[in-house]
Amino acid sequence: MPRGLMNIHKWCIEGGMQREPITPEGHERLKQELHRLKTKDRPAVSQQIAAAREHGDLKENAEYHAAREKQGLMEARIRDMEHLLALAQVIDHKKLKSDKVIFGSTVTVKDLNSGQSKKYQLVGRYETDVKSGKIPISSPIAKALIGKKCGESVAVQVPRGLQEFEITRIEFI
C-alpha cells in the first residue's frame, strides 16, 4: 500500500492533538454551518436578548433567560465547530485508488444472514449520517471492513448480535 494511504488509517498526532479525517464534502458542511451560526444565528439571538431586555426586570424575565441560555449553547457550538475544523484532516476520497476498503470508500456489502445488500461510505465521525449510509471510520462495521478486498467476508459484533458481510464492491465516489 502506498505510504500516503497508510497514513489515512491511523490517527495523526500533531502538536499533541489528534487529527480527525474528514471528506471535502463534510469539511464544507462544517464550514457552512459555522458561517451560518456566526452570521445569522448569533445576530438573531443578540436581537432576542435586546428585545427581552426592553420588557423590564431581568430577574423575572423568562424571555431574557431563555435567550441568554440559547446564546450560551450557540456560543459553545461555535467553539466546538472551530475546534473541529482546526483538527480536521481533509482527505479527498475521490482521488484515492485502492483495491482495499479505506477511508472515504463506498462499500457495497451483502448481509450473509439476510441476503440483502447494503452500501456504506466510511467517513469521519463528524459527518456521520447512518440514514444515508455514511458511517464513522471508528464504528465496528467500518473497522471490520478496513483493509479488506472485494469477495472477502467479515464478521462484526453489533448490538443486535453477530453480522456477517461479504464485500461485493468498493468505489471512490
pLDDT tens for each residue of 90-107: 999 888 888 999 999 999
Name 104's bridge partners. Answer: none
In this structure, which CATH number among 1.10.287.180, 1.10.760.10, 3.20.20.70, 1.20.5.510 belongs to the domain 24-90?
1.10.287.180
Phi, psi of 104 (to 5 degrees): 90, -15
pLDDT score at 17: 61
93-171: CATH topology? Chitinase A; domain 3 (3.10.50)
Q: Which helix (H) or strand (E) holds 84?
A: helix 62-87
Return the higher-pLDDT residue of 58 and 38: 38
- 33-to-82, 83, 113, 173 alpha-carbon distances in Å: 10, 13, 40, 23
The answer, yes or no, to whether residue 13 has pLDDT greater than 50, is no
Q: Are 25 and 127 in contact (CB under 8 A)?
A: yes
Domain with CATH 1.10.287.180 in the chain: 24-90
Return the higher-pLDDT residue of 7 and 117: 117
In tens, the pLDDT along 39-62 reads 999 999 999 988 888 877 777 788
Share of the chain above pLDDT 70, in %: 90
Least confident piece of the model among 6-10, 53-57, 131-135? 6-10
The closest of 50, 41, 51 to 75, measured between CA atoms, is 41
Domain with CATH 3.10.50.30 in the chain: 93-171
pLDDT score at 3: 43
Q: How confident is the model at residue 123 (pLDDT cuts 50, 70, 90)?
A: very high
